[in-house]
Structure 1
Amino acid sequence: MKRLELHISYKCPNSCSFCSEGDQLKKFKGAFVSKESVLNNLKRFARRGFNHLTLTGGEPTLHPDFFEIIRFASLLKYRTYVSSNGGLFSRQSFCSKVIPYLDEVSFSLHGDNARLHDSLTNNPGSFLKLRKAFANIKKRKGKLFVFVNIVATLRNLPYLKDTIEFAADSVSAKQVLISAVAPEGAGKDNFLSLAVPLREMSKHLSSLVDASCRKNMQIRFFGIPMCTLGNFCGFSNDAYWSPRTTVELWRNLGREFLKVTKSYKPVRNRIKVHKCLRCALRNICGGVFSEYVERFGAGEVIPFNHG
Structure 2
Amino acid sequence: MIRKSYLAYLKKAITEQGLLRATKYPFRYLGTYLGYKLNKSVSGPIQGTLCITYNCNLRCEMCDLPQRHQSFKEDGKSPYKFAEWKKIIKSFADIGTSGMAISGGEPFLNKDLFPIIREIKKQKMVCQMTTNGWFIDEVSGRELIETGIDTITISIDGSDPELHDKIRGISGSFEKALKAVRTLVLLRNEMKANFKINISTVFGKSNYKNIDKIIDITKNAGADCIGFIPVHTIAPEVNKDLSLLTILETEEIKEVISSLITKSKEDNYIETSESYLNMFYDFFGGKPLPMSCLAGFTTLIIDCYGDIFPCFSFYEMKKSWGNLKEFNDLNEFWKSHSVELSRSEIKECRECFWNCQVETNLLYKIP
Normalising by structure 1, we get a TM-score of: 0.72
CA deviation after TM superposition for structure 1 residue 147, in Å: 2.3
CA deviation after TM superposition for structure 1 residue 175, in Å: 3.5
Matches within 5 A, 1:251-266: 257-263=305-311
1:40-77 residue CA offsets vs partner (Å, 9 max, x unmatched): 10112211112311111100122111111111111111
CA deviation after TM superposition for structure 1 residue 286, in Å: 7.1
2:239 to 190, 194, 197: 190
Query: Do the aligned residues in 1 keep the contact of 2:54 with 2:104 (CA within 8 Å)?
Result: yes
Indicate whether 1:136 and 2:191 are aligned. Answer: no
Matches within 5 A, 1:210-289: 210-213=262-265, 215-217=267-269, 218-220=271-273, 226=279, 228=281, 243-249=298-304, 257-263=305-311, 287=350
CA deviation after TM superposition for structure 1 residue 111, in Å: 0.1
Query: Do the aligned residues in 2 keep the contact of 1:178 with 1:222 (CA within 8 Å)?
Result: no
Matching residue's letter, 2:68: Q
Indicate whether 1:63 and 2:110 are aligned. Answer: yes
Indicate whether 1:36 and 2:94 are aligned. Answer: no
Matches within 5 A, 1:141-160: 141=188, 142-160=193-211
**Structure 2 counterpart of 1:298:** none
Percent of residue pairs identical? 19
**Structure 2 counterpart of 1:13:** 57
CA deviation after TM superposition for structure 1 residue 201, in Å: 2.5
Query: Do the aligned residues in 1 keep the contact of 2:233 with 2:239 (CA within 8 Å)?
Result: no
1:228-266 residue CA offsets vs partner (Å, 9 max, x unmatched): 269xxxxx9x899871111114xxxxxxx4122335999
If each structure's helix is expressed as a fraction of its own residues, which one has the higher value? 2
**In structure 2, C-alpha distance between the alignment counterparts of 1:33 and 1:122, rounded to whole Å:** 28
1:60-102 residue CA offsets vs partner (Å, 9 max, x unmatched): 122111111111111111211101101122x111111111321
1:252-295 residue CA offsets vs partner (Å, 9 max, x unmatched): xxxxx4122335999987xxxxxxxxxxxxxx9974659xxxxx
My pick for the range that moved more, 40-49 or 110-119, is 40-49
**Structure 1 counterpart of 2:324:** none
CA 1:121 to 1:86, structure 2 compared with 1: closer, same or farther past 3 Å?
Answer: same
For structure 1, the 5+ residue unaligned runs are 231-235, 250-256, 270-283, 291-305
Query: Do the aligned residues in 1 keep the contact of 2:62 with 2:242 (CA within 8 Å)?
Result: no
**In structure 1, C-alpha distance between the alignment counterparts of 2:281 and 2:315, rounded to whole Å:** 16
Query: Do the aligned residues in 2 keep the contact of 1:7 with 1:58 (CA within 8 Å)?
Result: yes
**In structure 1, C-alpha distance between the alignment counterparts of 2:124 and 2:161, rounded to whole Å:** 38
Matching residue's letter, 2:309: T
**In structure 2, C-alpha distance between the alignment counterparts of 1:239 and 1:138, rounded to whole Å:** 39
**In structure 1, C-alpha distance between the alignment counterparts of 2:293 and 2:197, rounded to whole Å:** 17
Q: Aligned with 1:148: secondary structure?
A: strand
CA 1:219 to 1:229, structure 2 compared with 1: closer, same or farther past 3 Å?
Answer: farther
Matches within 5 A, 1:53-92: 53-89=100-136, 91-92=137-138
1:82-138 residue CA offsets vs partner (Å, 9 max, x unmatched): 01101122x111111111321012211110111110111111111111111011122
If each structure's strand is expressed as a fraction of its own residues, which one has the higher value? 1
**Structure 1 counterpart of 2:68:** 24
Normalising by structure 2, we get a TM-score of: 0.61
CA deviation after TM superposition for structure 1 residue 222, in Å: 11
Q: Aligned with 1:88: secondary structure?
A: coil
Q: Aligned with 2:198: secondary structure?
A: strand
Query: Do the aligned residues in 2 keep the contact of 1:155 with 1:194 (CA within 8 Å)?
Result: no
**In structure 2, C-alpha distance between the alignment counterparts of 1:33 and 1:73, rounded to whole Å:** 16
**In structure 2, C-alpha distance between the alignment counterparts of 1:216 and 1:22, rounded to whole Å:** 34
